[in-house]
Amino acid sequence: MRLVKPFRGLRPKRELAERVASPPYDVLSREEALEMARGNECSFLHINKPEIDVDPATDSHDGIVYARGRANLDRFIDSGILLRDEEDCFYVYRQVMGDHVQTGLAAVASLDAYEQGLVKKHELTRPPKVVDRVAHMHALGAQVGPVFVTYHARKSVDELIAETAQGEPEYDFTADDGIRHTFWVVSQAERVLAFQSVLDEMPALYVADGHHRSEAASNLRETLNLFSPRRTGSSPWDWFLVVMFPHDQIKILDYNRVVRDLGGLGAGDFLQKLEQNFELTEVEAGDAKPTEPREFALYLEGRWLRLRPRGAVLASLEEKSASDRLDVALLQDWVFAPLLGIMDQRTDDRVDFVGGIRGLAELERKVDSGAWGAAFAIYPTSMENLMEVADSGGVMPPKSTWFEPKLRSGLVSHVLD
């Protein structure tokens, strides 16, 4: 089965790319998006965050919001901000964040492959978020937020991407956050066929970031096929927008936790119970960040403690599944559930999540504010861990991975109607 193929992308006029490209819809609040788009009528936030253009009292899931997104998309097309490629293309997309470089390929992936488990998942989705993305895609008649996927690095694919990236880019700019985005269009027929040939040898893809978008694309297809005379698998909505990166180039940051309280325990009692299963060592703030798997850091009452599990904890992991061996699962099973009474991090409002991009200083700030009782820093999940869980059909605990840099929205979209 063909996993991916080229498509006729809808993308910005070259000189407008930097003004158009925006962060993903789900990393900004309504207020942050409004401020970022202020004075920029070309910002893609008008399309992927259209609530910024309606009355602030309007719920962001109101049909008016989705209709405004479609109107804004039509405006972008009618005014020539966005143009549609005449032929099916692949697109090479490079991001540079400090000394980290990742170069991937934008394409559309098969929803048949997704539903048959050849585009592998590792997270559960929340129905309200899926419903929101279905409504957004349906109203726009387009997929405007790419799904971040990965694959086991393959020399044949990576060499073609590297060769393409030696040519003159279509877009090349550095965003306000210091991340450089460079984009090449692969439109020459022979080159497109060369890419397709090596991509057809690929056995599977893995969803890294974008489970709600991929699930929404699948759900929307079911709806649209009700109005299609026959299913051929070749309709635009049988495919979904992805950017695929080799696994050895992807950077996963830590995804840390803050807890509201200690479950009724005083700090001394909590540490005493914790010490039954973990070795505790006080460390300076500059040395607190975990440096290896199975190492944690706790910030409590103005000081950092390093936590290393004792032998009984480690022995218990030997018989567990790939997902249950993850550090985030270990923390849940041995600290959050038994000591803090937090049974489900997905739904318990006594826990919140802080992406590693904010650093340990953000954990200190939250706890020192008095709004949170303690913070836990975790060593990042590896790509090998993610793929092992996905290959086994498992589900990772909530908020196990934080990917940086984030893909910019608006550089290329996939039109459905």
Can you name the residues that pair with 204 across neighbouring β-strands? none
- Give the model's pLDDT for residue 125: 85
Residue 318 structural domain: 255-379
Q: What is the dihedral of CA 396, 402, 403, 404, to 10 degrees?
A: -170
Domain boundary among 251, 268, 290: 251
Please tell me whether residues 78 and 203 are part of one structural domain.
yes
Residue 322 CB partners (closer than 8 Å, separation 6+): 385, 388, 389, 391, 392, 394
Please tell me whether residues 302 and 186 are part of one structural domain.
no
Please tell me whether residues 48 and 160 are part of one structural domain.
yes
Please tell me whether residues 305 and 181 are part of one structural domain.
no
Residue pLDDT, tens place only, 263-296: 999 999 999 999 999 999 999 999 999 999 999 9
Please tell me whether residues 297 and 151 are part of one structural domain.
no
108 domain residue, yes or no: yes
Summarize the confidence of residues 408-413 as an average pLDDT: 97
- Give the model's pLDDT for residue 22: 96
CA angle 85, 90, 93 (to 5 degrees): 105
Number of helical (H) and strand (E) elements in the chain, helices listed first: 14, 21
280 domain residue, yes or no: yes
Residue pLDDT, tens place only, 351-370: 999 988 889 999 999 999 99
In single-letter form, the type of residue at position 94 comes to: R
Contact 119, 210 (CB under 8 A): no
407 domain residue, yes or no: no
In the structure, what pLDDT confidence band is assigned to residue 417 with cuts at 50, 70 and 90? Answer: confident
Contact 82, 355 (CB under 8 A): no
36 domain residue, yes or no: yes
* CATH classification of the domain holding 261: 3.30.1760
361 domain residue, yes or no: yes
Contact 65, 57 (CB under 8 A): no
410 domain residue, yes or no: no
Share of the chain above pLDDT 70, in %: 99
406 domain residue, yes or no: no
Radius of gyration over alpha carbons of the chain, in Å?
A: 23
Summarize the confidence of residues 327-340 as an average pLDDT: 96
* Least-confidence region, from 32-46, 338-352, 392-406: 392-406
- Give the model's pLDDT for residue 232: 64
- Round the average pLDDT of the chain to a whole number and report it: 94
Please tell me whether residues 214 and 261 are part of one structural domain.
no
Please tell me whether residues 206 and 290 are part of one structural domain.
no
In the structure, what pLDDT confidence band is assigned to residue 318 with cuts at 50, 70 and 90? Answer: confident
- Give the model's pLDDT for residue 231: 63
Domain boundary among 223, 251, 279: 251
Domain boundary among 185, 216, 251: 251
Please tell me whether residues 297 and 193 are part of one structural domain.
no
Contact 68, 53 (CB under 8 A): yes
Please tell me whether residues 140 and 235 are part of one structural domain.
yes
In single-letter form, the type of residue at position 1 comes to: M
Please tell me whether residues 210 and 72 are part of one structural domain.
yes
Residue 326 CB partners (closer than 8 Å, separation 6+): 381, 385, 389, 396, 397, 400
Can you name the residues that pair with 146 across neighbouring β-strands? none
Residue 177 CB partners (closer than 8 Å, separation 6+): none
pTM of the model: 0.89
In 3D space, the residue among 93, 100, 117 whose CA is nearest the CA of residue 11 turns out to be: 93
Distances (CA, A) of 225 to 142, 218, 327, 377: 16, 11, 42, 46
pLDDT of residue 112 exceeding 80: yes
Please tell me whether residues 235 and 204 are part of one structural domain.
yes
The beta strands (E) that lie in 247-295 are given as 252-253, 255-259, 278-283
Can you name the residues that pair with 205 across neighbouring β-strands? 119
Summarize the confidence of residues 330-335 as an average pLDDT: 96
Task: Tell me the torsion sign for CA atoms 45, 48, 53, 55.
Answer: negative
In single-letter form, the type of residue at position 221 comes to: R
Please tell me whether residues 126 and 156 are part of one structural domain.
yes
37 domain residue, yes or no: yes
- Give me the number of domains the chain comprises: 2
Write the burial class of residue 181 (CB in 10 Å: 0-12 exposed, 13-18 middle, 19+ buried).
Answer: buried
